[in-house]
């Protein structure tokens, strides 16, 4: 069976939509067996073929939200719809937030959260970060009523994801701390609200990547106080560090998985890698210790602590008990 173009163009369609263009339930079953379509949920189908779990979750969120015009994507679902960075997203369940005074509901694959009394509804048509047009926020037709709300909801469920999202949105000027603090207060009585306060104290909007936010959270849990985007004057000019231990000459640099992927030139030399090594050499020449953090290392906090402590000991040999001035030195 060839899926009619008017249905294939939709992220998902209802069984009633299929019947309206002349398809029968048997046609849908045959197409599903042939993997031309897949069942999103009861009464909903899609001709799209998502390659990633986030894409499948978007289609499921689209269907659940379409059946509930009184609710908007929230929590993990709101984050995926908006395209903000998250850490190990839990996508088994769609989350929606009511914008009326109806009751909360929990089903096998859906949680419908209560509306928030007196909460402002500010429609932000922020495009999704996923490159596929069908999954951009506007293309799906879904609206996240307030991204500050989503950031705080996400923090309730996963502090690392919450910090990533808050930093990401603040750094890009989409939100202000006042926006986040307003929703922190409105959602204070909800489950997981106790996790929001420590995250809000760490948010600074200076961190440029989700990996830096993750590193900040891990180091905070280990008891370290950090500064973000510290400038160091070197022989080659001013160099900027991702993170640094407060008052100490220990820099923390996050190496993302794709950081060097596009740096190869015609001679097969990775120019990005070379530039990074030169930058690190410049920083070390100014008597800094540099600790490199990766996704694998951040998943092993004890290893991070060991590396930081070794760097601190080396720094003390050079600088003694002297304290580094804030934001550089």
| % of the chain surpassing 70 pLDDT | 86
Q: Contact at 8 Å (CB) between 12 and 45? A: yes
- pLDDT value at position 145? 61
Across residues 12-29, what is the average pLDDT? 94
Residue 34 has pLDDT above 50, yes or no: yes
List, for residues 164-205, the tens digit of each pLDDT value: 999 999 999 888 999 999 999 999 989 999 999 999 999 999
Instruction: Give the pTM.
Output: 0.85
Instruction: Please give the span between the terminal C-alpha atoms of the chain, in angstroms, as a whole number.
Output: 69
Q: Which domains does the chain have, with CATH numbers?
A: 1-45 (no CATH), 50-202 (no CATH), 210-319 (3.40.960)
- pLDDT value at position 101? 86
- pLDDT value at position 266? 52
List, for residues 216-234, the tens digit of each pLDDT value: 999 999 999 999 999 999 8
List, for residues 87-136, the tens digit of each pLDDT value: 999 999 999 999 888 999 999 999 999 988 655 544 443 334 333 333 33
- pLDDT value at position 271? 72
pLDDT band at 265 (very low <50, low <70, confident <90, very high): low
- pLDDT value at position 123? 42
Highest mean pLDDT (candidates 127-131, 140-144, 253-257): 253-257
- pLDDT value at position 264? 54
pLDDT band at 28 (very low <50, low <70, confident <90, very high): very high
Across residues 233-247, what is the average pLDDT? 92
Residue 258 has pLDDT above 60, yes or no: no
Residue 77 has pLDDT above 90, yes or no: yes
Q: Contact at 8 Å (CB) between 62 and 56? A: no
Query: Counting beta carbons within 10 angstroms of the beta carbon of residue 17, is it exposed (0 to 12), middle (13 to 18) or buried (19 or more)?
Result: middle
Q: Please state the three-class secondary structure of 25-93 as a single string.
A: HHHHHHHHHCCCCEEEECCEEECCCCCCHHHHHHHHHHHHHHCCCCEEECHHHHHHHHCCCCCCCCCCC
Which residues, other chains included, contact 26 with Cβ-Cβ below 8 Å and sequence gap of 6+? none
- pLDDT value at position 325? 85
- pLDDT value at position 203? 96
Q: What is the mean pLDDT of the chain?
A: 86
Query: In the chain, what are the helix, strand and coil shares in percent, each to the nearest 5?
Result: 45, 15, 40
- pLDDT value at position 3? 86
Residue 46 has pLDDT above 80, yes or no: yes
- pLDDT value at position 218? 98
- pLDDT value at position 138? 37
- pLDDT value at position 41? 93
List, for residues 279-329, the tens digit of each pLDDT value: 888 899 999 999 999 999 999 999 999 999 999 999 999 999 889 888 655
């Amino acid at each position: 069976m060839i899926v009619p173009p008017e249905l294939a163009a939709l992220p998902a369609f209802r069984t009633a939509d299929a019947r309206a263009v002349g398809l029968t339930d048997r046609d849908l079953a045959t197409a599903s067996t042939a993997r031309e379509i897949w069942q999103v949920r009861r009464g909903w189908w899609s001709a799209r073929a998502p390659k990633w779990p986030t894409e499948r979750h978007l289609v499921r969120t689209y269907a659940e939200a379409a059946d509930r015009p009184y609710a908007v994507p929230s929590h993990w679902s709101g984050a995926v719809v908006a395209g903000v960075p998250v850490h190990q997203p839990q996508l088994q369940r769609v989350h929606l937030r009511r914008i009326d005074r109806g009751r909360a509901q929990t089903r096998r694959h859906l949680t419908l959260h209560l509306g928030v009394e007196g909460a402002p509804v500010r429609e932000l048509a922020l495009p999704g970060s996923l490159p596929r047009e069908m999954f951009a926020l506007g293309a799906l037709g879904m609206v996240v009523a307030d991204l500050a709300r989503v950031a705080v909801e996400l923090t309730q469920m996963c502090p690392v994801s919450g910090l990533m999202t808050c930093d990401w949105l603040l750094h890009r000027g989409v939100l202000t701390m006042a926006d986040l603090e307003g929703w922190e207060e409105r959602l204070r009585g909800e489950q997981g609200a106790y996790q929001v306060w420590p995250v809000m104290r760490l948010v600074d909007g200076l961190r440029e990547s989700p990996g830096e936010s993750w590193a900040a959270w891990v180091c905070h849990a280990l008891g370290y106080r950090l500064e973000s985007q510290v400038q160091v004057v070197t022989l080659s000019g001013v160099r900027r560090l991702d993170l640094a231990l407060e008052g100490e000459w220990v820099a923390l640099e996050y190496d993302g998985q794709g950081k060097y992927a596009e740096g190869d030139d015609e001679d097969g030399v990775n120019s990005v890698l070379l530039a990074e090594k030169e930058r690190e050499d410049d920083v070390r020449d100014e008597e800094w210790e540099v600790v490199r953090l990766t996704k694998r290392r951040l998943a092993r906090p004890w290893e991070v602590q060991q590396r930081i402590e070794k760097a601190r000991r080396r720094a003390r040999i050079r600088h003694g008990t002297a304290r580094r001035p804030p934001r550089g030195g």
